[in-house]
Amino acid sequence: MIMQALMDKIRETPSRYIISVLIILFILLPFLTPYTALASEMLIFALFAMAYDIVLGYSGMLSFGHAAFFGLGAYGTGIMLVHLKAPLFIAMVVGVTLSFIAAWPVGYLSIRRRGIYFAMVTLAFAQMLYFIAFKWTALTGGDDGLQRIPRPSIGPIAIESELSLYYFILIFVVASMLLGLRIVNSPFGKTLQAMRENENRARSIGFNIFRFKLFAFVISALFSGLAGCFYALLLNYVPLGSMHWATSGEVVMMTIVGGMGTLFGPMLGAIAVVLLRDIIGSYTESWNLIMGILFMAAVLSFRRGILGSLRERLQGS
């Protein structure tokens, strides 16, 4: 009986209820995971994957360079906290702003191309940024990474403990989810989806495809940067690998597994991948093999991902 009601609800206006369920899940997540830091990691990558879906699922652009924005957010925040001993709020603003600023030229140049060429250009730019992070050891710690990032309090809010950090991140993630929902349901968002479906028709109607894609790209980079900020706080450290194209590959994986084009599916994908990686990593060394197989299975059968398949199955019946 409860299942029936649940199915009906998912079939109706999906997003409003899914967001409520997700928020409840997120509130309880620290108590459902083996250790709180894992829950925070899930939340961070959920945000990153949601941001990425704006570019992949909603705008149809396969970016292989998003790790750069994630990394810029992480390094920006970390550098402010470690080298300049800035207050937390300012450090976060700087991190997000760095990603935002970088997204404009990268997007401007990359979006001129489509499909695989777009992916290659983003990869090239991301590798250049990676190289800068690698070489500028005084600022970034180079290969060692940025060490000893503190967790200062914002006024009365202390985030030293893992649990308090988690709920601090959650506030921003929920805000981002609501914002993200607003964006994709807005005329801007609807136009993006129309463009993804049939670019020529959209162009013939008179829409400036380039500008729409660029805005989507920049918005996505902004949220990715925000996720990066929290990553720096969670680890007390920024690894160089956060800017590597393998991290870009990971977020693509999470988005596909969760269901691209659903905005919140990728969040579930991120939770699943982070959890699986932790569980599999604890018990076996063959986790690349298992992740690879799962990913291939996801690509082959779940092309629509967990959430998308669920929706398809329910709408079809």
Judged by the rule CB under 8 A, the positions of this chain that interact with other proteins are 2, 24, 28, 31-32, 34-38, 41, 62, 109, 112-117, 119-121, 123-125, 127-128, 131, 134-135, 137, 142-145, 147-148, 162, 235-237, 239-242, 245, 249, 252-253, 256, 278, 281-282, 285-289, 291-293, 295-296, 299-300, 303
Shortest distance in whole angstroms from residue 187 CB to other proteins:
25
Degrees (nearest 5) of the Cα angle 260, 261, 267? 60
How far is the CA of 40 from the CAs of 67, 174, 207, 262, in angstroms?
Answer: 18, 13, 40, 22
Shortest distance in whole angstroms from residue 297 CB to other proteins:
8
Helix (H) or strand (E) segment spanning residue 64:
none
Q: Which is nearer to other proteins, 94 or 126 (CB)?
A: 126
Shortest distance in whole angstroms from residue 135 CB to other proteins:
7
How far apart are the C-alpha atoms of 90 and 105, rounded to whole Å?
Answer: 24
**In 179-204, which positions are buried (b, 16+ CB within 10 angstroms) versus exposed (e)?**
ebbebbeeeebebbeebbeeeeebee
Q: Which is nearer to other proteins, 28 or 179 (CB)?
A: 28
Shortest distance in whole angstroms from residue 2 CB to other proteins:
7
Q: Both tokens of residue 50?
A: 């949601």
Shortest distance in whole angstroms from residue 121 CB to other proteins:
5
How far apart are the C-alpha atoms of 152 and 155, rounded to whole Å?
Answer: 9
How far apart are the C-alpha atoms of 46 and 21, rounded to whole Å?
Answer: 15
C-beta neighbour count of 98 within 10 angstroms: 24
Shortest distance in whole angstroms from residue 158 CB to other proteins:
14
Q: Which is nearer to other proteins, 183 or 217 (CB)?
A: 217
Residue located via tokens 């601090």: 168
Shortest distance in whole angstroms from residue 250 CB to other proteins:
11
Give me Rg for the CA atoms of the chain: 19
First to last CA, the chain: 18
Shortest distance in whole angstroms from residue 260 CB to other proteins:
10
**Residue in 224, 258, 195, 208 with CA at minimum distance from that of residue 59:** 195
Alpha-carbon dihedral sign for residues 158, 164, 169, 174:
negative
C-beta neighbour count of 137 within 10 angstroms: 11
Residue located via tokens 């060490």: 147
